[in-house]
Amino acid sequence: MSNYVKADLYELIKDLFHITAIPPMIQKQVNNYILDYNMSFKEIARCLVYWVEVRHEKMDIKYGIGIVPNIREDAAKYFQKLELQKAAQQKEAEKAVELENNNIIFNIKSVKSQKRKPTQLDLNEINLGDDDNATDEK
């Protein structure tokens, strides 16, 4: 949506209303929102997407896109929140890549420590030296 133009907005409106041509009333509403409310095509589109996809409201062709000025602030807050979440996710992804490039990767959830069992010594297997030499010294 970076270079959102009038044609993109009209395609969205056609999809929302399931129509093939933009009625004059909706064209007039779009022009009024741009001139009177200083809105961009992108901002109008975001309002419509917010109304239909987020709020799950229905659009009625007889009213056109008359809801747009009334939900402008709510839609702006919603999309600003989305952009902040996206920026935070991007920052975390960059941090992970940076750590990966430096070969420092920590992904430890929990480590269970296991107790070592002491080994049992068999005194019969311990070799203290030659048996022959031990008797000579006595």
Query: Is residue 126 situated within a structural domain?
Result: no
Q: Which two tokens stand for residue 130?
A: 């030659």
Query: Is residue 47 situated within a structural domain?
Result: yes
Query: String of b and e for 5-19 (b: at least 16 CB within 10 Å)?
Result: eeeebbebbeebbee
E strand spans, the chain: none
Query: Is residue 46 situated within a structural domain?
Result: yes
Q: What pLDDT, on the 0 to 100 scale, is given for residue 90?
A: 82
Prediction pTM value: 0.65
Give the chain's domain count: 1
Query: Is residue 128 situated within a structural domain?
Result: no
Distance CA 72, CA 112 (A): 53
Query: Is residue 112 situated within a structural domain?
Result: no
40, 90, 94: which is closest to 68 by C-alpha?
40
Query: Is residue 57 situated within a structural domain?
Result: yes
10, 6, 15, 1: which is closest to 59 by C-alpha?
15
pLDDT in tens for each of the 138 residues of the chain?
458 999 999 999 999 999 999 999 999 999 999 999 999 999 999 999 999 999 999 999 999 999 999 999 999 999 999 999 988 888 887 776 666 666 555 555 555 566 667 667 677 777 776 655 555 554
Residue 101 near residue 62 (C-beta atoms within 8 A): no
Containing structural domain, residue 78: 6-101
Query: Is residue 135 situated within a structural domain?
Result: no
Query: Is residue 111 situated within a structural domain?
Result: no
Mapped to the 3 state alphabet, what secondary structure does 5-34 carry?
CHHHHHHHHHHHHCCCCCCHHHHHHHHHHH
Dump pLDDT digits (tens) for 58-69.
999 999 999 999
